Structure 1
Amino acid sequence: MTAQIHIPSLLTRAGTASALTLAAVAGTSLAPGATPEAQAATHAARAVQIAASKKGSPYQWGAAGPSRFDCSGLTFYSFKKAGKKLPRTAQAQYNKVRHIAASHRRRGDLVFFHYGRNVFHVGLYAGSGKIWHSPKTGSVVRLERIWTKNVWYGRVN
């Protein structure tokens, strides 16, 4: 016999930031109607898994999967498969997401590389200062350390 846990009352007591942890510890899944923040975190975590599953896929300018990607094609594909819509290009994705401070970044956030005010590259934050991305012609989807401080972060809602 398993114990029944009432998620809304747990969320009230623990706060929305702990929703995913509580669900994992309790062995339950978040039901539709869970907090928007918890749902966004679930989509983001899934998008990172999808991007990671594409490790080794070749870069191709303008490609958005399922076997070849450019940078924004990888983020577009990963979030689409995770159930969220994003625009197709890095700049359009930056314009669409909620901008966040580096100190608030978490797995699944988008990392935008910029020169001045222009975004030229995007990847998915994987944690520990690393991103999943499709960097350039002749390369493949890979996990790599963020190599510059000229980045902005965005969260898909």
Structure 2
Amino acid sequence: MLKKIFTFLFLATIISTVAVSPFVSKASTYHTRAVSVAKSNLGVKYVWGGMSPRGFDCSGLVKYSYGKEGKVLPRTAASMFTEGKRVSNLAVGDLMFFADNKAERPTHVAMYMGNGKMIQAATSHGVSIASISNVYWKPRYVGAKRI
């Protein structure tokens, strides 16, 4: 009798995991996986127009990282800003947009990593992690989008 109960519980666990996981894991983790792709490129040099591990610019890093997870994004920060849903509460993988003048179209994009950090391809440091409170970036922030 105990063996039948154990077998039943084991099978129920497997079935519930298989039945639920395709819906939960794909939808909830591609953002996290895109951030992981970006993190795997830490230290790659900045190259204007770069879209590969040989060199990235800001939108090239984001496009590449999300592309590895099956999400197709436009090429530039300004055109990426037209995609997704505008958000005020940041979650891992949200795209953060910056401009030199708040009235301008975004000229820089980064990915939110959580814990007040973002990953970006910056001209001065290549693919690097920065605080969202950074004195350079904070005043240039124009909004975030969730893809």
Q: TM-score range by the shorter chain?
A: 0.7 to 0.9
User: Which residue in the other structure is 1:4 paired with?
Assistant: 12
Give 4+ residue runs of structure 1 displaced > 4 Å after superposition.
26-29
Cα deviation, 1:71-111, whole Å, max 9, x if unaligned, reads 0000000000011110010010111121111xx21101111
Amino acid at match of 2:130: E
> Percent of counterpart pairs with the same letter?
33
Secondary structure of the structure 2 residue equivalent to 1:57: coil
User: Which residue in the other structure is 1:10 paired with?
Assistant: none
Runs of 5+ consecutive residues of structure 2 not aligned to the other structure: 1-6
Structure 1 vs Structure 2 CA RMSD: 2.2
Instruction: Please give the residue correspondences for 1:92-131 in structure 2 after superposition, counting only pairs within 5 Å.
Output: 92-101=79-88, 104-114=89-99, 115-117=101-103, 118-131=105-118
Secondary structure of the structure 1 residue equivalent to 2:38: helix
Q: TM-score, normalised by structure 2?
A: 0.79
Taking a change above 3 Å as real, the CA distance of residues 91 and 40 of structure 1, as seen in their structure-2 partners, is farther
Q: Does 1:141 align with 2:127?
A: yes
Q: Does 1:74 align with 2:65?
A: no
Taking a change above 3 Å as real, the CA distance of residues 40 and 152 of structure 1, as seen in their structure-2 partners, is farther
> How far did residue 120 of structure 1 move?
1.3
- Aligned partners of 2:113 and 2:18: how far apart in 1? 24
Flag the structure with higher strand content: 2
> How far did residue 40 of structure 1 move?
3.8
Amino acid at match of 1:91: A
Amino acid at match of 1:153: A
Task: Report the number of matched residues.
Answer: 131
Moved more, 107-116 or 42-51: 107-116
Q: TM-score, normalised by structure 1?
A: 0.74
